[in-house]
Structure 1
């Protein structure tokens, strides 16, 4: 599998994969134009949306409507390392959500592939022209 990363100018960096282009930029305070999310914002949103799609799969398999389900992702960042120390996802279920599935929907969200990759991170190599 391959994803193409290109540099369209300024502080913008884009990723093209499966026919979609994901655009990023830096805030004006960092020399960007603030025209798109920062890459780290996409990292955080990928965790939330991944957990969310597992909730969708869970609910669809049980004919539970998802329109009134929301989630909030909160995070704590270490100020000196700028790395996340804690990420909390709060699933807000509507009153009509079946009580017997509350713990199961949490387990479903925890199956998120992005989260599981953080628990068991891949090796990441950076090369130039295919050489280390």
Structure 2
């Protein structure tokens, strides 16, 4: 599997994968144009949307409507290291959501591949190519 990363100018960086291009930028305070989300914002979004799709799968398999379900992702960042110390996903279920599935929908969200990857992080290697 391979993803292409390009640098179209300024502080913008894009990734292209499976025919989709994802744009990122930095805020004006960091020298960017604030034209797209920061890469870290997309990282946080990927956690929430990944958990969300597992909730969709869970509900669809039980014919539970999802239009009144939402989630809030909250995070606490260490001001010194700038790394996340805690991420909380709160699932907002409508009153009509079946009580017998409330714990199960949490387990479904916890199956998120992004979350599981963070729990068992991969080795990340950075290399260069080309002539010096």
Q: TM-score scaled by structure 2?
A: 0.98
Match of 1:2 in 2: 2
Matches of 2:15 and 2:66, distance apart in 1: 30
Within-5 A mapping of 1:77-116: 77-116=77-116
Matches of 1:126 and 1:63, distance apart in 2: 45
Within-5 A mapping of 1:49-68: 49-68=49-68
Secondary structure at 1:21 match in 2: strand
Match of 1:33 in 2: 33
The CA deviation at 1:129 is: 1.1
1:123 aligns with 2:111: no
The CA deviation at 1:48 is: 0.1
Matches of 1:97 and 1:15, distance apart in 2: 38
The CA deviation at 1:109 is: 0.1
Secondary structure at 2:87 match in 1: strand
Within-5 A mapping of 1:14-29: 14-29=14-29
Q: Deviations over 1:38-95 (max 9, x none)?
A: 0000000000000000000000000000000000000000000000000000000000
Match of 2:11 in 1: 11
Structure 1 segments, 4+ long, off by >6 Å, are none
Secondary structure at 1:125 match in 2: coil
Q: TM-score scaled by structure 1?
A: 0.98
Matches of 1:94 and 1:22, distance apart in 2: 33
Matches of 1:42 and 1:94, distance apart in 2: 27
- Aligned-residue RMSD, C-alpha: 0.7
The CA deviation at 1:23 is: 0.2
Structure 2 unmatched ranges of 5 or more: none
